[in-house]
Structure 1
Amino acid sequence: MAFDVVIRGGRVIDGTGTAPIKADIGISGERITAVGDIPASASESAKTIDADGLHISPGFVDVHSHADAALLNDGQHASGIRQGVTTEIISPDGLTLAPLSPENYEMYRWYLSGILGWAPEGLDMSSIEASRKNYHRKTAPNVATFAGHGPIRLEAAGMNDVTLTGDKLEKAKNLLRESFEQGAVGFATGLSYYPNSWSDTDELCALMEVAGEYGKPMSIHLRNHNGDRAFGGGGVPEAIEVARRTGTKLHFEHYRTFVDSAGEVDKLMEPIDKAKAEGVDITLETYPYPVGSSFPQAFFPGYFHEGGPEAMLAILNDEDKRAELIERMSEISYTAPEGNVWTHIGAGGNQEFEGWLFDDLAKKWGVSVEEMMTRMMAETSLACGMRVAPPGNVRQWRKVEEDVMQLMARPDYMVGSDSIPVGGMPHPRAYGCFVRMVGRLRRRYNYPVEQVVQRMTQNPAERFGLTDRGVIAEGKFADLVIFDEQNINDRSSFEDPAVHPEGVPHVLVNGKLVVENEEVTGVMAGHAIP
């Protein structure tokens, strides 16, 4: 057999959870065609990679990536590919750019500019099929996509607080069917964001009945807006109720403890395990950091979002309406803005304030934190984003990390970075999530490397139907990560986030080297999958 690439002498972690074995891997075209002892005579004309002393695993799958626009602007996507992420599943939280009419695309790319950055103008995003063409063979990693609640609701009812019933509901259901038929790997919603949060539980059930026709899961960011519209007030009870009523699969996004609940893993998992025992099909994801990241729109109640960015800016630029908006922030159960840090400040704002704590900038300007935030939103025309400052209590921080690794020991968990690769001071998870988990945290808490790898590879591939990916075996796509098991490490930190990891010398996507000797190659080998 003729090989294009042969990887020699590495310890192969096949992705199934079994212990590593020493073996060669032969690749022909895009697929693995041999695993075992490959004679030298069989590889004379092949590109040979010496993996002696290194481990080889399936490429990591990021099940929660906000790189929708970043991949369109720079398909190389070094922040993810250099970690070994060979497949990015975009459109989590229902925040995405397809399927959208040209008019809605321009409006929603503006609305989402604080979390996604500015996607290119004028793209055809009228369907999932059209969206996939914008990524296929134009990115280093593979790209899969959820069908997003936001665009589907926009197309059905606009940026308006209305109930989806009758023709509007039927249009949304038909768009969802079309999205699944064109390759969407699930339905995603985020119920801190709009227009998603104008829904009620009945709407989610109606849409998930469609997902059930295709055997697709719902990936959900739990509700903390408009709880009066939700079963059980929202949160975990609502998500489980949707899955229970419709008999569909459920996937919890970024489900873990926080600093104020560190050590309470059993309490966290109690409702999940109870529902699973009753037959609800549930999986979950996490990332290994004590705090998250988002964009300021999440702080404000539903009325503020109606009509989209132009109407929102009219409120922000009117002193009386802005004061009313700040007063009405208490209507939702989202966290307070204090303790956040600017990660991204777009055109019109002062980029020197990226990295500033909200509280400090408010003091500098002589205004409240809320007033400062609304002024920044107005200055940047909404193109600004933030993250929570890490806790000062390092012991509690480490306890959250210990909890994350305990959750990763469960067979129903996988990894979603929640990466937002935008701005001058992004959350470090964009550059370090996967290597932090398989590197320093695995070593610190002494988890088997094959177990951690399985959660990052086979679990997501099976849950989201990624054909012939997630394991190393003959006939599978050659998405591979070659890493130094003892020295792989994240170097991205909260104060210096845009730093690539060490210990990942080579990454292959569909049989092509996209990282070689810890440098990106510029090869755009990614497919729009599944």
Structure 2
Amino acid sequence: MADLILRGGSVVDGTGAAAFDADVAVDGDRISAVGDLSGMSARREIDATGLTVSPGFIDTHAHSDGVLLRDPVHAHGLLQGVTTEFITQDGLSYALLSEQNLDSYGRYIAGLYGPPPVGLDMSTMAAFRSHYEGKGCNVAVQAPHGPVRLESVGFEDVPLEGEGLARAERMVAEAMEQGATGFSTGLSYYPNSYSDTDELVALNRVVARYGGVYVTHIRNHNDDRAPDGSGIVEAMNIGRRSGVKVHISHYRTFPSNAGDIDSIMSEVDQAKADGVDVTLECYPYAAAATVPGYFLRGECHVGGIDRLLERLGDPAWHDRLVDSLEQLFPGRNDAATFTWIGADHLKHLEGLSFADAAARMGMSVSDLTLMVMRESGLQCGFRDAMPASPAVARQVEADVIALLSRDDYMVGSDGIPFDEGIPHPRAYGTFPRIVGRLRRRTGVSLEHLVRGMTSLPASRFGLADRGVVAEGRFADLVVFDADSVIDTADFNDPRTPPAGIPYVVVNGQIAVDRGRPTGVLAGRSVP
């Protein structure tokens, strides 16, 4: 007798092969049989007639480092069918931080993750990973560039060389030996952006020795530090020089270049023709989200959060800070919206555009932005406005589906989930939006899209025995109605759960039952 049988579903097995009708049996944490299992019984049977059974979805880019520690069930991902998340993205994480730096850097990145954890050892990758065992979903990690640089040379705009570089190389090697799948960086964030190409080549030579992947939010700050001034060219050259496998984060068109896929893919395709091993990911929304400090130049960040907060309140720095915002954030300030603010006395600004918030407070948009950063202690985030023209947003979505139709693209939500404020809906709707709304609109193959969410990332990042529905594989499964599955989260009500995903199984345990989270904590630190 099996533990669980999903009966009569249309199996999309994750390989890209055509769907087929079959039953799927589960024993323990593994799939024990796939086929006509009419002669087999189980302790629990689920009628999947008329539904699709696929591998659980893999989110290759999630900013859940903080929320997973506060809310282990992680319902917002499970309800989308996500059974594995990659955290430590953009080189921003608690991983590898000493106790002192965990407090200071944890406060620095609190706009993404909330207040830093207290009393947890994060100083090695093994210690860090141990805190993500027994969550609602599986969790995979990379060695984050920010902590590596911080622990090697401090929060300073200095070259990483000599003993500093040697220490960083040792940290990356140790992280790889302790379960990291690669090395992540975000070259628009600090201290990551203080790096140059040579530093990144050196660190990725270490990653390449372990067969890992260089995962990068490409440079668009300090682009003078890339020899050619181009973030995507720099990333391709790092692959050429180090031999590392390259993965480009959230790479798609924007409203400013909607419809022009060729222009963003030409360097990638040339590098692939030259032998560089490249994959990419994207999410299906025309608006982004991050933290306002993203738009302050590197000189503002030197020394870390305490020095930055001093500068935010120093009249001698005011004009430089305003100039930085206006130069690096042109045309986006006024319509951008605060997603959350950690300071209670500023909560009334959540959900307001910067322009409306500035009018309410009687100050300029730039001064408002600086004030919110200062008084919240950087515990604040924002999102862009959607394009004014629906046709432009539709074109970006069409571009996303066209990119996902390639063989080298995966799905990373870039989700920043919070239990307060008005966050970006991508944390709550990315996967059903793709397999539901956008697939039906464009007619792209369900089998191909599922492959990019399952077996492709599992293979790329070394998640052994995951990402495929087959006997002997881990029982990470999602059951959904391909005809009706849809995201319901939007920018006004971002936490509403999707419809059409009644069952999710994580390591053989039912994590979503009839559309409701069960609270089971079957996730593991993987691989």
Alignment partner of 1:466 out of 460, 463, 466: 463
Does the alignment pair 1:130 with 2:119? no
* 2:107 corresponding residue in structure 1: 110
Q: CA RMSD in A?
A: 1.3
Answer with 307-316 or 147-156: which moved more: 307-316
Cα deviation, residue 245, structure 1? 0.9
Aligned partner of 2:218 in structure 1 is 222
2:37 aligned partner, one-letter code = I
Does residue 15 of structure 2 align to residue 19 of structure 1? no
Q: Distance in 2 between matches of 1:39 and 1:158?
A: 62
Question: What amino acid is the match of 2:373?
Answer: M
Match of 2:441 among 440, 444, 461: 444
Tell me the CA shift for residue 435 of structure 1. 0.4
Amino acid at match of 1:292: A
1:443-478 alpha-carbon deviations (Å, 9 max, x no partner): 000111111101100110011111100001011000
**Alpha-carbon distance between aligned partners in 1 of 2:129 and 2:116, rounded to the nearest angstrom:** 15
* Aligned twin of 2:323: 327
Structure 1 residue aligned with 2:430, among 433, 441, 457? 433
Equivalent residue number for residue 32 of structure 1: 31
Identity over aligned residues, as a percent?
48
Alignment match of 1:411 (pick from 404, 407, 411) = 407
Aligned residue for 1:145? 141
Q: What letter is aligned with 2:54? A: S
Q: Is 1:63 matched with 2:53?
A: no
Partner of residue 356, structure 2: 360
1:242 aligns with 2:206: no
Q: Alpha carbons of 1:493 and 1:396: their partners in 2 closer, same or farther (altered >3 Å)? A: same
CA distance in 1, matches of 2:192, 2:329: 16
Tell me how far apart the structure 2 counterparts of residues 431 and 311 of structure 1 sit (CA, whole Å): 35
Within a 5 Å distance, the mapping from 1:298-313 to structure 2 comes to 298-313=294-309
SS at match of 2:159: coil
Report the counterpart of residue 4 of structure 1 in structure 2.
3
Residue by residue over 1:102-127, the C-alpha shift from the partner in whole angstroms, topping out at 9 and shown as x without a partner, is 11111111001101112321211011
CA contact (8 A) 1:339 1:357 kept: yes
Residues 239-284 of structure 1: CA deviation (Å, up to 9, x unaligned): 1111111121111111111111111112221111111111111101
3-state secondary structure, aligned to 1:34: strand
After TM superposition, give the deviation of residue 319 of structure 1 in Å.
Answer: 2.7
State whether residues 114 and 384 of structure 1, in contact with CA within 8 Å, keep that contact through their aligned partners in structure 2. yes
Query: 1:361, CA displacement in angstroms?
Result: 1.2
| Alpha carbons 1:225, 1:334 under 8 Å: kept | no
Match of 1:49 in 2: 46
Deviation at 1:318, TM superposition (A): 2.1
Q: 1:75-90 maps to which residues of 2 (within 5 A)?
A: 75-90=72-87
Aligned to 2:174: 178
Deviation at 1:337, TM superposition (A): 3.0
User: Does structure 1 residue 97 correspond to structure 2 residue 88?
Assistant: no
User: How far apart in 1 are the matches of 2:12 and 2:374?
Assistant: 50
Corresponding residue of 1:206: 202
Matched, 1:285 2:281: yes
Q: Give the deviation of 1:506 after TM superposition.
A: 0.4
Amino acid across the alignment from 2:24: I
Instruction: Determine whether 1:192 maps to 2:200.
Output: no
Equivalent residues of 2:136, 2:519 under 8 A apart: yes
After superposing the two structures, state which structure 1 stretch, 228-237 or 316-325, moved more.
316-325
Cα distance in 1 for residues equivalent to 2:264 and 2:365: 31
Separation in 1 of the partners of 2:61 and 2:262? 24
**1:237, distance to aligned residue in structure 2 (A):** 1.1
Unaligned segments of structure 2, at least 5 residues: none
Aligned AA (1:109):
G
- Partners of 2:44 and 2:343 lie apart in 1 by 45
Deviation at 1:349, TM superposition (A): 4.0
Q: What TM-score results when the alignment is normalised by the length of structure 2?
A: 0.98
After TM superposition, the score normalised by the length of structure 1 is 0.97
Deviation at 1:39, TM superposition (A): 3.0
2:496 to 484, 496, 499: 499
On the 8 A contact 2:295/2:324 being kept in 1, the answer is no
Of 241-250 and 408-417, deviating more is 241-250
| Partner of residue 276 from structure 1, selected from 252, 258, 272 | 272
Structure-2 separation of matches of 1:161 and 1:33: 54
- Flag the 1:459–1:349 CA change in 2: closer, same or farther, 3 A: farther
**Cα offset, 1:347, TM superposition:** 2.4
Cα distance in 1 for partners of 2:123, 2:522 equals 24
Structure-2 separation of matches of 1:287 and 1:262: 14
Aligned residue for 1:23, secondary structure, equals strand
- CA shift, 1:365, in A, is 2.1
**Structure 1 unmatched runs, 5+:** none
From the superposition, tell whether residues 331 and 396 of structure 1 become closer, same or farther in structure 2 (CA, over 3 Å): closer
* Alignment partners' CA distance in 1, 2:495 and 2:227: 41
Deviation at 1:297, TM superposition (A): 1.2
- Amino acid in the other structure paired with 1:342: F
Partner Cα distance (2:366, 2:329) in 1 = 16
The match for 2:506 is 509
